[in-house]
Amino acid sequence: MRYNAEDWDDVVAVLRDPAEVAIVCHVNPDGDALGSLLGASLALAKSGARTWPSWGSDDVGLPDSYAFLPGAETLVQASEVPRAPVWLALDCGAGDRLGSLEDQARASECLINIDHHPGNDNFGTFNVVVPGASSTAELVVRLLQDVGIDLDRDIATCLYTGLVTDTGRFQYASASPEALRLGADLLALGVPAPAIASEIWESVPFGYLKLMGRMLGRATLFPSERFVYSWITLEDLEATGVDLDATETLIDLVRSTRAADVAAMFKEQPDGTYRASMRSKGPVSVAAIARDKGGGGHELAAGFTAEDMDEAVYDIRTALRGRLGGTSEKGGRLGGTSEKGGRLGGTSEQGGRLGGTSEQGGRRLDRKTTALEAGASEATSRRS
Protein backbone atom coordinates (compact mmCIF):
# COMPACT_ATOMS: atom_id res chain seq x y z
CA MET A 1 0.00 0.00 0.00
CA ARG A 2 1.17 3.52 -0.78
CA TYR A 3 0.02 6.96 0.39
CA ASN A 4 -2.02 5.27 3.15
CA ALA A 5 -4.68 4.71 0.48
CA GLU A 6 -6.91 1.92 1.79
CA ASP A 7 -7.91 0.66 -1.66
CA TRP A 8 -4.44 0.80 -3.20
CA ASP A 9 -3.70 -2.93 -3.12
CA ASP A 10 -7.18 -3.78 -4.41
CA VAL A 11 -6.66 -1.49 -7.40
CA VAL A 12 -3.29 -3.06 -8.13
CA ALA A 13 -4.89 -6.52 -8.01
CA VAL A 14 -7.63 -5.53 -10.46
CA LEU A 15 -5.17 -3.97 -12.92
CA ARG A 16 -2.71 -6.86 -12.94
CA ASP A 17 -4.58 -8.96 -15.49
CA PRO A 18 -7.48 -7.12 -17.13
CA ALA A 19 -8.74 -8.16 -20.56
CA GLU A 20 -10.54 -4.87 -21.19
CA VAL A 21 -10.33 -1.52 -19.47
CA ALA A 22 -12.35 1.57 -20.23
CA ILE A 23 -10.15 4.50 -19.22
CA VAL A 24 -11.71 7.93 -18.90
CA CYS A 25 -10.73 11.37 -17.63
CA HIS A 26 -12.79 14.44 -16.86
CA VAL A 27 -14.51 16.54 -19.51
CA ASN A 28 -12.58 19.58 -20.74
CA PRO A 29 -9.35 17.70 -19.97
CA ASP A 30 -6.16 19.49 -19.00
CA GLY A 31 -2.59 18.25 -19.27
CA ASP A 32 -2.77 16.03 -16.19
CA ALA A 33 -5.99 14.41 -17.33
CA LEU A 34 -4.74 13.81 -20.88
CA GLY A 35 -1.29 12.64 -19.84
CA SER A 36 -2.68 10.28 -17.21
CA LEU A 37 -5.31 8.95 -19.61
CA LEU A 38 -2.94 8.10 -22.44
CA GLY A 39 -0.10 7.00 -20.17
CA ALA A 40 -2.34 4.53 -18.36
CA SER A 41 -3.88 3.33 -21.63
CA LEU A 42 -0.51 2.71 -23.29
CA ALA A 43 0.81 0.93 -20.21
CA LEU A 44 -2.18 -1.38 -19.74
CA ALA A 45 -2.23 -2.14 -23.46
CA LYS A 46 1.43 -3.05 -23.20
CA SER A 47 0.50 -5.54 -20.49
CA GLY A 48 -2.01 -7.20 -22.81
CA ALA A 49 -5.26 -5.42 -22.01
CA ARG A 50 -7.59 -3.91 -24.59
CA THR A 51 -8.06 -0.30 -23.61
CA TRP A 52 -10.65 2.31 -24.53
CA PRO A 53 -9.34 5.82 -23.70
CA SER A 54 -11.93 8.60 -23.88
CA TRP A 55 -13.92 11.22 -21.99
CA GLY A 56 -17.59 12.13 -21.84
CA SER A 57 -17.83 14.90 -24.42
CA ASP A 58 -19.27 15.08 -27.91
CA ASP A 59 -15.96 15.48 -29.71
CA VAL A 60 -13.00 13.57 -28.27
CA GLY A 61 -9.66 14.74 -29.62
CA LEU A 62 -6.44 16.36 -28.45
CA PRO A 63 -6.00 20.14 -28.52
CA ASP A 64 -3.17 21.28 -30.78
CA SER A 65 -0.91 21.95 -27.80
CA TYR A 66 -1.16 18.29 -26.75
CA ALA A 67 -1.20 16.71 -30.21
CA PHE A 68 2.35 15.43 -29.63
CA LEU A 69 1.21 12.97 -26.95
CA PRO A 70 1.90 9.32 -27.83
CA GLY A 71 -1.26 7.25 -28.14
CA ALA A 72 -3.40 10.06 -29.52
CA GLU A 73 -4.54 7.80 -32.35
CA THR A 74 -6.02 5.33 -29.84
CA LEU A 75 -8.61 7.77 -28.48
CA VAL A 76 -12.21 6.74 -29.08
CA GLN A 77 -15.38 8.79 -29.09
CA ALA A 78 -17.55 8.55 -25.98
CA SER A 79 -20.29 6.83 -27.99
CA GLU A 80 -17.84 4.05 -28.91
CA VAL A 81 -16.86 3.11 -25.37
CA PRO A 82 -18.23 -0.37 -24.63
CA ARG A 83 -19.80 -1.58 -21.40
CA ALA A 84 -16.50 -2.87 -20.11
CA PRO A 85 -16.49 -4.66 -16.74
CA VAL A 86 -13.72 -2.39 -15.40
CA TRP A 87 -13.57 1.37 -15.69
CA LEU A 88 -10.64 3.53 -14.67
CA ALA A 89 -11.57 7.15 -13.90
CA LEU A 90 -8.62 9.52 -13.78
CA ASP A 91 -8.40 13.05 -12.38
CA CYS A 92 -12.15 13.36 -11.76
CA GLY A 93 -12.95 15.23 -8.56
CA ALA A 94 -16.55 14.00 -8.69
CA GLY A 95 -18.59 11.47 -10.63
CA ASP A 96 -20.33 14.11 -12.70
CA ARG A 97 -16.96 15.13 -14.16
CA LEU A 98 -17.25 11.99 -16.28
CA GLY A 99 -19.82 13.82 -18.36
CA SER A 100 -21.90 11.68 -20.68
CA LEU A 101 -20.04 8.54 -19.55
CA GLU A 102 -20.98 8.83 -15.87
CA ASP A 103 -23.99 6.51 -15.92
CA GLN A 104 -22.15 3.88 -17.93
CA ALA A 105 -19.15 4.00 -15.59
CA ARG A 106 -21.29 3.74 -12.47
CA ALA A 107 -23.10 0.72 -13.93
CA SER A 108 -19.86 -1.21 -14.45
CA GLU A 109 -18.81 -4.11 -12.26
CA CYS A 110 -15.75 -2.22 -11.08
CA LEU A 111 -15.18 1.53 -11.19
CA ILE A 112 -11.74 2.68 -10.05
CA ASN A 113 -11.39 6.32 -9.05
CA ILE A 114 -7.83 7.72 -9.11
CA ASP A 115 -7.53 11.38 -8.20
CA HIS A 116 -5.69 14.00 -6.16
CA HIS A 117 -8.38 16.67 -5.75
CA PRO A 118 -9.49 17.56 -2.21
CA GLY A 119 -13.20 17.00 -1.73
CA ASN A 120 -13.40 14.04 -4.14
CA ASP A 121 -16.75 12.32 -3.53
CA ASN A 122 -15.30 8.78 -3.67
CA PHE A 123 -17.66 7.71 -6.44
CA GLY A 124 -15.78 4.53 -7.29
CA THR A 125 -15.95 0.93 -6.22
CA PHE A 126 -12.32 1.48 -5.27
CA ASN A 127 -11.00 4.95 -4.53
CA VAL A 128 -7.39 6.10 -4.48
CA VAL A 129 -7.71 9.79 -3.67
CA VAL A 130 -4.49 11.44 -2.48
CA PRO A 131 -4.76 15.24 -2.11
CA GLY A 132 -1.09 15.39 -1.18
CA ALA A 133 0.01 14.02 -4.54
CA SER A 134 1.36 16.49 -7.08
CA SER A 135 -0.85 15.17 -9.85
CA THR A 136 -2.95 12.24 -10.92
CA ALA A 137 -0.03 11.32 -13.20
CA GLU A 138 2.11 10.74 -10.11
CA LEU A 139 -0.43 8.25 -8.76
CA VAL A 140 -0.68 6.50 -12.13
CA VAL A 141 3.10 6.06 -12.25
CA ARG A 142 3.19 4.45 -8.82
CA LEU A 143 0.23 2.19 -9.58
CA LEU A 144 1.80 1.00 -12.82
CA GLN A 145 5.04 0.29 -11.02
CA ASP A 146 3.24 -1.80 -8.41
CA VAL A 147 1.29 -3.62 -11.13
CA GLY A 148 4.68 -4.55 -12.60
CA ILE A 149 4.55 -2.68 -15.90
CA ASP A 150 7.85 -1.26 -17.14
CA LEU A 151 7.50 2.32 -18.34
CA ASP A 152 8.90 3.12 -21.76
CA ARG A 153 9.59 6.46 -23.45
CA ASP A 154 6.05 6.94 -24.78
CA ILE A 155 4.37 6.12 -21.46
CA ALA A 156 6.84 8.32 -19.60
CA THR A 157 6.23 11.21 -22.03
CA CYS A 158 2.50 11.13 -21.31
CA LEU A 159 2.93 10.92 -17.57
CA TYR A 160 5.65 13.58 -17.46
CA THR A 161 3.24 15.88 -19.33
CA GLY A 162 0.65 15.35 -16.61
CA LEU A 163 3.22 16.00 -13.91
CA VAL A 164 4.81 19.11 -15.43
CA THR A 165 1.50 20.79 -16.26
CA ASP A 166 -0.17 20.21 -12.89
CA THR A 167 2.87 21.50 -11.01
CA GLY A 168 3.04 24.59 -13.22
CA ARG A 169 6.41 23.57 -14.65
CA PHE A 170 7.47 22.65 -11.11
CA GLN A 171 6.69 26.15 -9.84
CA TYR A 172 3.58 25.47 -7.71
CA ALA A 173 3.49 24.33 -4.11
CA SER A 174 2.62 20.86 -5.42
CA ALA A 175 6.17 20.54 -6.79
CA SER A 176 7.31 18.48 -3.81
CA PRO A 177 10.66 16.67 -3.53
CA GLU A 178 8.77 13.51 -4.50
CA ALA A 179 7.44 15.21 -7.63
CA LEU A 180 10.88 16.47 -8.63
CA ARG A 181 12.42 13.04 -8.15
CA LEU A 182 9.64 11.51 -10.21
CA GLY A 183 10.25 14.06 -12.96
CA ALA A 184 13.93 13.13 -13.01
CA ASP A 185 13.09 9.42 -13.21
CA LEU A 186 10.78 10.01 -16.18
CA LEU A 187 13.37 12.19 -17.93
CA ALA A 188 15.84 9.34 -17.58
CA LEU A 189 13.54 7.27 -19.82
CA GLY A 190 14.09 9.71 -22.69
CA VAL A 191 11.25 12.16 -22.24
CA PRO A 192 11.83 15.14 -24.59
CA ALA A 193 11.22 17.85 -21.98
CA PRO A 194 12.26 20.86 -24.11
CA ALA A 195 9.97 19.79 -26.95
CA ILE A 196 7.06 19.28 -24.54
CA ALA A 197 7.57 22.75 -23.04
CA SER A 198 7.69 24.28 -26.50
CA GLU A 199 4.51 22.58 -27.67
CA ILE A 200 2.46 23.42 -24.58
CA TRP A 201 3.64 26.90 -23.68
CA GLU A 202 5.51 28.38 -26.63
CA SER A 203 3.61 27.33 -29.76
CA VAL A 204 0.31 29.09 -30.40
CA PRO A 205 -1.53 30.11 -33.57
CA PHE A 206 -1.31 33.78 -34.52
CA GLY A 207 -4.98 34.25 -33.67
CA TYR A 208 -4.18 33.37 -30.07
CA LEU A 209 -2.21 36.62 -29.80
CA LYS A 210 -5.31 38.51 -30.91
CA LEU A 211 -7.40 36.60 -28.38
CA MET A 212 -4.95 37.47 -25.59
CA GLY A 213 -5.25 41.13 -26.56
CA ARG A 214 -9.03 41.02 -26.28
CA MET A 215 -8.91 39.20 -22.97
CA LEU A 216 -6.23 41.40 -21.40
CA GLY A 217 -7.97 44.53 -22.64
CA ARG A 218 -11.03 43.77 -20.50
CA ALA A 219 -9.17 42.51 -17.41
CA THR A 220 -10.74 44.02 -14.29
CA LEU A 221 -9.01 44.54 -10.93
CA PHE A 222 -10.65 44.94 -7.51
CA PRO A 223 -7.79 46.25 -5.34
CA SER A 224 -9.62 45.90 -2.01
CA GLU A 225 -10.16 42.18 -2.55
CA ARG A 226 -6.87 41.80 -4.45
CA PHE A 227 -8.90 40.04 -7.12
CA VAL A 228 -8.54 40.21 -10.89
CA TYR A 229 -10.59 38.57 -13.60
CA SER A 230 -11.31 38.61 -17.30
CA TRP A 231 -13.35 36.67 -19.83
CA ILE A 232 -13.60 35.49 -23.40
CA THR A 233 -16.71 34.86 -25.47
CA LEU A 234 -17.62 32.53 -28.29
CA GLU A 235 -17.55 35.57 -30.56
CA ASP A 236 -13.93 36.15 -29.54
CA LEU A 237 -13.06 32.59 -30.52
CA GLU A 238 -14.82 32.86 -33.86
CA ALA A 239 -13.16 36.18 -34.69
CA THR A 240 -9.66 34.97 -33.82
CA GLY A 241 -10.00 31.41 -35.10
CA VAL A 242 -8.99 29.87 -31.77
CA ASP A 243 -10.62 26.70 -30.42
CA LEU A 244 -12.08 26.75 -26.91
CA ASP A 245 -9.92 23.80 -25.86
CA ALA A 246 -6.80 25.82 -26.69
CA THR A 247 -7.46 28.48 -24.03
CA GLU A 248 -6.29 26.56 -20.95
CA THR A 249 -3.31 28.81 -20.20
CA LEU A 250 -5.09 32.18 -20.42
CA ILE A 251 -5.59 32.14 -16.66
CA ASP A 252 -1.81 32.28 -16.21
CA LEU A 253 -1.72 35.67 -17.90
CA VAL A 254 -4.46 37.05 -15.67
CA ARG A 255 -2.88 35.79 -12.46
CA SER A 256 0.53 37.27 -13.24
CA THR A 257 -0.20 40.76 -11.88
CA ARG A 258 1.35 41.51 -8.50
CA ALA A 259 -1.70 43.65 -7.72
CA ALA A 260 -3.88 40.57 -7.07
CA ASP A 261 -3.66 37.36 -5.07
CA VAL A 262 -6.72 35.69 -6.62
CA ALA A 263 -7.54 35.51 -10.32
CA ALA A 264 -10.44 34.16 -12.34
CA MET A 265 -10.83 33.50 -16.05
CA PHE A 266 -14.33 33.05 -17.49
CA LYS A 267 -14.83 31.25 -20.81
CA GLU A 268 -18.21 31.24 -22.50
CA GLN A 269 -19.41 27.74 -23.39
CA PRO A 270 -21.58 26.65 -26.33
CA ASP A 271 -24.58 26.30 -24.01
CA GLY A 272 -24.29 29.93 -22.86
CA THR A 273 -22.76 29.20 -19.46
CA TYR A 274 -19.29 30.31 -18.38
CA ARG A 275 -16.56 27.95 -17.27
CA ALA A 276 -14.55 29.71 -14.55
CA SER A 277 -10.94 28.87 -13.75
CA MET A 278 -9.57 30.29 -10.50
CA ARG A 279 -6.03 30.63 -9.17
CA SER A 280 -4.71 31.79 -5.80
CA LYS A 281 -1.23 32.79 -4.74
CA GLY A 282 -2.22 31.90 -1.17
CA PRO A 283 -3.38 31.81 1.52
CA VAL A 284 -6.96 32.07 0.18
CA SER A 285 -8.44 28.72 -0.85
CA VAL A 286 -10.13 28.99 -4.22
CA ALA A 287 -11.24 25.36 -3.86
CA ALA A 288 -13.62 26.41 -1.09
CA ILE A 289 -15.05 29.16 -3.28
CA ALA A 290 -15.43 26.80 -6.23
CA ARG A 291 -17.16 24.15 -4.11
CA ASP A 292 -19.67 26.76 -2.96
CA LYS A 293 -20.43 27.30 -6.64
CA GLY A 294 -20.84 23.61 -7.41
CA GLY A 295 -17.29 23.07 -8.65
CA GLY A 296 -14.07 21.98 -7.01
CA GLY A 297 -10.33 21.58 -7.37
CA HIS A 298 -7.21 22.30 -5.36
CA GLU A 299 -6.58 24.90 -2.70
CA LEU A 300 -4.75 27.16 -5.15
CA ALA A 301 -6.33 26.07 -8.45
CA ALA A 302 -10.02 25.32 -8.91
CA GLY A 303 -12.99 25.89 -11.18
CA PHE A 304 -16.76 25.89 -11.57
CA THR A 305 -19.48 26.57 -14.11
CA ALA A 306 -21.56 29.75 -13.85
CA GLU A 307 -24.91 30.55 -15.39
CA ASP A 308 -24.29 34.27 -14.92
CA MET A 309 -20.80 35.78 -14.90
CA ASP A 310 -21.75 38.98 -13.06
CA GLU A 311 -23.34 36.97 -10.28
CA ALA A 312 -20.28 34.71 -10.08
CA VAL A 313 -17.91 37.67 -9.80
CA TYR A 314 -20.09 39.17 -7.09
CA ASP A 315 -20.08 35.88 -5.18
CA ILE A 316 -16.30 35.58 -5.47
CA ARG A 317 -15.82 39.11 -4.16
CA THR A 318 -18.22 38.41 -1.30
CA ALA A 319 -16.30 35.27 -0.40
CA LEU A 320 -12.97 37.09 -0.55
CA ARG A 321 -14.23 39.90 1.65
CA GLY A 322 -15.44 37.33 4.15
CA ARG A 323 -11.94 35.86 4.29
CA LEU A 324 -10.06 39.16 4.21
CA GLY A 325 -12.40 41.26 6.36
CA GLY A 326 -12.88 44.98 5.98
CA THR A 327 -14.92 46.94 3.48
CA SER A 328 -14.58 47.49 -0.21
CA GLU A 329 -13.66 50.89 -1.61
CA LYS A 330 -14.96 49.79 -4.98
CA GLY A 331 -18.42 49.19 -3.63
CA GLY A 332 -20.74 48.08 -6.40
CA ARG A 333 -23.24 45.56 -5.06
CA LEU A 334 -20.93 45.02 -2.11
CA GLY A 335 -21.53 48.45 -0.67
CA GLY A 336 -19.85 51.85 -1.00
CA THR A 337 -19.38 53.79 -4.21
CA SER A 338 -17.30 53.28 -7.27
CA GLU A 339 -15.85 55.78 -9.69
CA LYS A 340 -16.39 53.18 -12.41
CA GLY A 341 -19.99 52.63 -11.34
CA GLY A 342 -21.76 49.55 -12.66
CA ARG A 343 -22.94 46.57 -10.66
CA LEU A 344 -19.49 45.34 -9.80
CA GLY A 345 -17.27 48.38 -9.58
CA GLY A 346 -13.61 47.56 -10.13
CA THR A 347 -11.04 49.09 -12.42
CA SER A 348 -11.16 48.28 -16.10
CA GLU A 349 -10.46 50.27 -19.23
CA GLN A 350 -12.89 48.04 -21.07
CA GLY A 351 -15.69 48.33 -18.53
CA GLY A 352 -18.67 47.26 -20.59
CA ARG A 353 -21.55 45.82 -18.59
CA LEU A 354 -19.27 45.53 -15.58
CA GLY A 355 -18.95 49.25 -15.01
CA GLY A 356 -17.23 52.24 -16.62
CA THR A 357 -17.06 53.06 -20.30
CA SER A 358 -15.78 50.79 -22.97
CA GLU A 359 -14.53 51.05 -26.51
CA GLN A 360 -15.05 47.32 -26.86
CA GLY A 361 -18.48 47.13 -25.20
CA GLY A 362 -17.84 43.75 -23.63
CA ARG A 363 -20.41 41.02 -23.06
CA ARG A 364 -21.85 39.91 -19.75
CA LEU A 365 -20.57 38.89 -18.33
CA ASP A 366 -20.19 -5.28 -0.25
CA ARG A 367 -19.46 -4.38 -3.84
CA LYS A 368 -15.66 -4.38 -3.61
CA THR A 369 -15.50 -8.10 -3.25
CA THR A 370 -17.70 -8.62 -6.29
CA ALA A 371 -15.44 -6.32 -8.27
CA LEU A 372 -12.30 -8.18 -7.27
CA GLU A 373 -13.86 -11.48 -8.22
CA ALA A 374 -14.94 -10.01 -11.55
CA GLY A 375 -11.41 -8.74 -12.12
CA ALA A 376 -9.94 -12.14 -11.43
CA SER A 377 -12.39 -14.09 -13.55
CA GLU A 378 -13.20 -11.75 -16.38
CA ALA A 379 -10.52 -9.07 -16.39
CA THR A 380 -11.60 -5.56 -15.80
CA SER A 381 -11.31 -2.25 -17.60
CA ARG A 382 -11.65 1.36 -16.74
CA ARG A 383 -11.83 4.87 -18.08
CA SER A 384 -11.43 8.36 -16.61
Long-range interactions of 60-67: CB distance < 8 A, separation 24+: 62/34, 63/243, 63/245, 63/246, 63/248, 64/203, 64/205, 64/243, 64/246, 65/199, 65/200, 65/203, 65/204, 65/246, 65/248, 66/31, 66/34, 66/161, 66/199, 66/200, 67/199
What whole-number distance in Å separates Cα of residue 29 and Cα of residue 41?
15
Q: What is the CA radius of gyration of the chain?
A: 21
- Residue 53's pLDDT is what? 98
Across all residues in the chain, what is the average pLDDT?
87
Confidence of residue 267 (pLDDT cuts 50, 70, 90): very high
- Residue 322's pLDDT is what? 86
- Residue 168's pLDDT is what? 92
Confidence of residue 198 (pLDDT cuts 50, 70, 90): very high
Neighbours of 8 (CB within 10 A): 20
* Closest residue by Cα to residue 45 from 92, 5, 100, 88: 88
Q: Does position 355 have pLDDT exceeding 60, yes or no?
A: no
- Residue 245's pLDDT is what? 83
H or E, element range at 54: strand 50-55
| Top-confidence range, 149-153, 288-292, 363-367, 377-381 | 149-153
Q: Does position 63 have pLDDT exceeding 80, yes or no?
A: yes
Q: What percent of the chain has pLDDT over 90?
A: 77
H or E, element range at 297: strand 296-297
- Residue 381's pLDDT is what? 36
H or E, element range at 157: helix 153-166
Least confident span in 7-11, 30-34, 207-211, 300-304 = 300-304
Mean pLDDT over residues 178-202, rounded?
97
Are 274 and 268 a contacting pair, CB within 8 Å?
yes
User: What pairing do the DSSP bridges indicate for beta strands 50-55 and 86-90?
Assistant: unpaired
Confidence of residue 346 (pLDDT cuts 50, 70, 90): low
- Residue 350's pLDDT is what? 43
- Residue 376's pLDDT is what? 41
Q: What is the pLDDT of residues 246-262, one digit of tens each?
A: 898 899 999 999 999 99
What whole-number distance in Å separates Cα of residue 247 and Cα of residue 208?
8
Question: C-alpha distances in angstroms, 64 versus 31, 41, 204, 207, 223?
Answer: 12, 20, 9, 13, 36
What whole-number distance in Å separates Cα of residue 263 and Cα of residue 273?
19
CATH fold label, 219-354: Diaminopimelate Epimerase; Chain A, domain 1 (3.10.310)
Which parts of 137-261 are beta strand (E)? 220-222, 227-232
Q: What is the pLDDT of residues 274-285, one digit of tens each?
A: 999 999 998 999
Q: What is the pLDDT of residues 84-115, one digit of tens each?
A: 999 999 999 999 999 999 999 999 999 999 99
Mean pLDDT over residues 43-52, rounded?
97
Q: Does position 130 have pLDDT exceeding 90, yes or no?
A: yes
What is the CATH code for 8-200+370-378?
3.90.1640.10
What SS3 state is found at 88? Answer: strand
What whole-number distance in Å separates Cα of residue 169 and Cα of residue 172?
8
Q: Which residue has the higher pLDDT, 18 or 124?
A: 124
Confidence of residue 39 (pLDDT cuts 50, 70, 90): very high
CATH 3.10.310.30 residue window(s) in the chain: 219-354
* Closest residue by Cα to residue 13 from 383, 309, 283, 377: 377
Are 308 and 319 a contacting pair, CB within 8 Å?
no
Are 151 and 159 a contacting pair, CB within 8 Å?
yes
CATH 3.90.1640.10 residue window(s) in the chain: 8-200+370-378
Q: Does position 5 have pLDDT exceeding 70, yes or no?
A: yes
Confidence of residue 169 (pLDDT cuts 50, 70, 90): very high
Are 46 and 155 a contacting pair, CB within 8 Å?
yes
